[in-house]
Amino acid sequence: MTASVTPVTSKTVDDIPGPKGVPFIGNMFEIRQATMIQDLMKLVREWGPMLRLTTPNGPLYVASGLEMVNDLCDDTRFDKLVGLSQRELRKTHESAGLFTADTDDPLWKSAHDILLPSFSTWAMKGYLDPMIDIAEQLCLKWERLNTDEPIDVTADMTRLTLDTIALCGFSYRFNSFYREGQHPFVAAMMGALHETQARQRLLPVAIKVRRGAQRQLEADSRFMDDTVGKILAERKASGDPGNDLLGHMLVGTDKEGNRLPDHNIVAQCQTFLVAGHETTSGLLSFAISYLLKHPEVVTRAHEEVDRVLGTDPSVPPTVAQVQQLGYVRQILDETLRLWPTAPAFTRQTRRATTVGGWGPFEPGQAVIALTPMLHRLTEVWGPDAEEFNPDHVAPERLDALPPNAFRPFGSGQRACIGRQFALQEATLVLGMVLQRFELIDHANYQLKIKESLTLKPEGLTITIRPRSGRTWGASSRQAEVVSIPRSPALAVAPADRHGTPLLVLFGSNLGASEDLASRIARDATDRGYTARTAGLDDAVGELPTDGAVVVVTSSYNGQPPDNAGKFCTWADDAATSAEGVRYTVFGCGNRDWAATYQAVPTRVDAALEARGATRVYPRGEGDARGDFDGQFEAWYAGLWDALGSALGLEAGAAEAAGGGPRLAVELEQRRTASPILQSYRGQAATVRVNRELTARAGTPGGRSVRHLEIALPAGTTYAAGDHLGVLPRNDMAVVNRVIARFGLDGGQYATLTASGASPTHLPIGEPYPLLGILAGCVELQDVASRAGLAAMAAHMPEGPFRDELADLAGTDDGSKARYREKIAVPRRTLLDVLEEHPECDLPFAEYLDLLPPLRPRYYSISSSPTMSSAAAVTVGVLEGPARSGDGSTFRGVCSGHLSAVPEGGTVFTFVRQPSIAFRPPENPHVPMIMIGAGTGMAPFRGFLQERESLRARGVPIARSLLFLGCRDPEDDLLYADELKGYEADGVATLIPACSRVKGYPHRYVQHALEASADQVWEALQDEAVVLVCGNASTMAPGVRAALVAVFRAKTGAGESDGEAWLAGLRASDRYLEDIWGETAVV
């Protein structure tokens, strides 16, 4: 046993400077609860980079000098100290999450191992779509505001980041943008954090006597547990663990094969909800506060955003585009430099040691690393270190920083696991905001810091203006579903086998290196090698001298991955021999960790060479912060020639047998179940009724609206206000065009095989009707993607048409403009373009792989189960001249499908509850003010049926108001006869508005609303609930303005009071909207 040696130093802890404290209290008066970090920064400026304070609980040391922080980041001498507030928080829960657990807690290690792959570079790609989903909600909210309406930036960013982590992590929607106030979970969370933060300054006896505060803390913690517990229970009851953080925790195991208990899964979910949104919302808020004061930075950012994302905000960003927003990322890094939202991390000594030459610090002594002051060191950042300048964190300057000079996410194995997630989300959101808006400093904001668990700007409000020069396209953002990522083209058949051995070794914690190793081995097999993969540790002492070795490895905080430590130790040993081994290395890294970037790949490369191995191809590097895929492909392009040359293979012997698409299609005759139906759990339902509702359907200028009554399968129920999801089938006319274009036989069956990850929307591995695939698995009428045009170009003969298609698939500004003009705006499909170019020999398998999955369409159920177990839907049929101008007719996929299903026919459906409580009031004495236009009438028909059912049973009901818009009451006032009956029975008063009839009293529903102010006001005084269903960009704003006008007319109040009144209705769930955009799915 080795005795612990106490370090000898000339600078003792007693010599560390600091202000003199008062007896018993120490320096607590100098560190206020509300400004703790700022007070510590002030003291550091006064006393220097190593500071000693006294507290009732003992000495407190604060370090901000580079030498001191360097020491604190040494995991062999220091470990994370879970702070008092975190310890108090975990006392109220059964288990501790990653943030509040001690490092020696076995569940911390298990959870860390299980969750690490969920935050890998590869995993980030899967989070982009839900991130865009929530970012679009933020942008849509801002787009609807008047230019003089102030925006509470911090509040909206909190909504954004909470909803993002919930959707990405647990496939759960808090729907914060549909609430005026904060979600109850946020209120409980903030209450718990406020109380546990306050306890940092209290003696144990003082904490014990705060019984009321303790009860509230327990109630808040219980609510948080219950909220997350419900999410967990619903997921487990579904039988599908899901492919998100929650799913990974449910099925994942640690290295010993252990799974996480439910109580720890709940704790981890809470950790991500709390830490995963608090810090990122603060980062985005701080960034916007700085942009207000630095127009020169905004100008550069706008230039980059327009160049990378384009000027059409309707086109969602891709992962590659987000990674190319380098200057936007610099803005965020510079924001984190000045105000890291988690502004300190506390370390405790593992043994007696020194910090920056001071010591000895006894085992267990806490030292705080104060990062805002570390990040302001002039010797590191220059004389303008206190100023906001994104050039401080330009890539070349970050690469040149001393180790541990930039630590916004903590240190070592306890550093923030979600760093990449937070930065991808923040870069995406800030890029989308800058693409759309000009940010206006309407109140001359002066930065004020609000401290709680994290830092945020206090009182930050802005106004916005839409940026000029935006070229909104015609593609539907609401309906967009991105298809699964496509792997690169793989050889369909392997080359003639020469059998040369190739060992592909990987060092990987997160899965990225292992994925690349698998790809290399798979491609090697296609090229005739005898290839196998293994972890680096499996090759200790067993590196082969026949063939070659390819190493793909990453680093983890500068250390080897878990399956590479033994190999690195073995390779470093001077006694090891690797004579005769031929090798190359590719390193996976991230320049965010500049001090340890490529540490292990460089170490392995140098060690193998030092042990006598021969490098046959230069080491490659992939930076997850940049264009990782592009960097790997550039290195990979020369690998096979270099290996073939080094191994003496004949030229062409190791060539792949010819590239092919990911899918291979074998046609024959047979049958199986639809993956799309399985994915959405769609069930067969029978159409009982399918009738026309309008008088002029089929005539010039007329439009068709169909009423369908659908008998749901046994065991399926619905409530008034629910949505019916319909899985449509593509029009056979379009399917037959595909059949004809590729010269197929519609009666054949297809067997699809996937050489990479199997697409979930296609039937893989068994025969399936070709017509079934085309009609029920893929979208045939989506706008042609750039990837599709590029694939066509690759299969065109040389000439101007090939060049034109390649140009349309380009990413430069000119190509984007031409793509919008010729493809996006006229909504030309890939099939349209293929039919124009019969000379293109694009294989059918590649065409099929380019098509996105068929999407369900959702309709408000227009009936009540109190009247009928069959669900009614009201469907506006989209049919008219195609936008392409070629004289063809465009027919909506789902509306066309439903309009053609005969009575007695089958449709595939499922019931979905709306994201908001858009339902009739439970109390029948409360009147409803229902406002809709066209098919916006649908849910109200169900609500009226509910009230009529109660009336018929003798239950007293309040008379409601129905404001219903149409074009002409003689043509399309939907369900007019039924409404007359409800009016006669005292269920509701109908007040129509007609947009196409000259001289009609009301043109739109908002006009009818204002004209009926007396009736509306009377109903509101009786606690009426206002329900709005219709267009989000035209009708809904007009209705809001009309309601405010009614309030002002009746009370004499001003505009701001009217808006506040309407906000109050929202907050109390008395103003509810079920609205959609201009480009609703059809």
What residues are labeled active site?
279, 409, 416
Classify the phi-psi angles of 904: left when phi > 0, otherwise alpha if psi is within -120 to 50, otherwise beta: left
Which secondary structure element, helix H or strand E, spans residue 952, and what is its range? helix 938-952
Q: Tell me, what DSSP letter sits at residue 28? A: G
Q: Going by C-beta distance under 8 Å and a sequence separation of 6 or more, which residues neighbour residue 237?
A: none
Classify residue 94 by its DSSP letter: S
The SS3 assignment for 867 reads: coil
Joined tokens for residue 743: 């010269």
Closest CA to 403 of 245, 558, 606: 558
* C-beta of residue 122 within 8 angstroms of C-beta of residue 515: yes
For every residue of 450-494, DSSP letters joined together read EESSSEEESS-EEEEEEPTT----S--TTT--PPPPPPPPEESSP
Phi/psi at 856 (nearest 5 deg)?
-75, 155
Residue type, 265: I
Q: With beta carbons less than 8 A apart as the criterion, state whether 731 and 892 touch.
A: no
Who's near 440: CB < 8 A, 6+ residues apart? Answer: 462, 463, 464, 465
Residue type, 710: I
- Count of all residues that appear for the chain in the document: 1082
Dihedral of alpha carbons 719, 723, 728, 731, sign: positive
Give me the numbers of helices (H) and strands (E) for the chain, helices first please: 38, 36
Cα angle: 768, vertex 771, 776; to 5 degrees: 85
Residue pair 777/676 in contact (Cβ under 8 Å)? The answer is: yes
Q: How many CB atoms lie within 10 A of CB 6?
A: 13
Cα gap 465→650, rounded to integer Å = 64
What is the bridge-based pairing of β-strands 366-370 and 58-63? Answer: parallel
Cis peptide before 360 (omega within 30 of 0): yes
N-terminal to C-terminal alpha carbon distance within the chain: 75
Amino acid at site 923: N
Count the neighbouring beta carbons within 10 Å of the beta carbon of residue 878: 18
Residue 1024 is encoded by which pair of tokens? 């009426």
In angstroms, the CA 1026 to CA 1019 distance is 10
Q: Is the dihedral of CA 384, 385, 387, 389 positive or negative?
A: positive
Helix, strand, coil % (nearest 5) of the chain? 45, 20, 40
Cα distances (Å, whole numbers) of residue 222 to 45, 183, 236, 344, 621: 42, 15, 20, 28, 48
The tokens for 847 are 């065409």
CB half-sphere exposure, 1029, CA atoms < 13 A: 30
Contacts of 846 (CB under 8 A, 6+ apart): 661, 663, 791, 795
Q: How far is CA 477 from the centre of its chain?
A: 15
Residue 1076 to residue 785: CA distance in whole angstroms: 25
Q: Distance (Å, rounded) from C-alpha 684 to C-alpha 905? A: 10
Identify the helix (H) or strand (E) that includes residue 437.
strand 437-440
Does the annotation list 139 as a binding residue? Answer: no
544 CB neighbour count, 10 Å cutoff: 14
Instruction: Return the biggest CA–CA distance within the chain.
Output: 100
Binding-site members are: 416
Binding-site members for heme are: 416
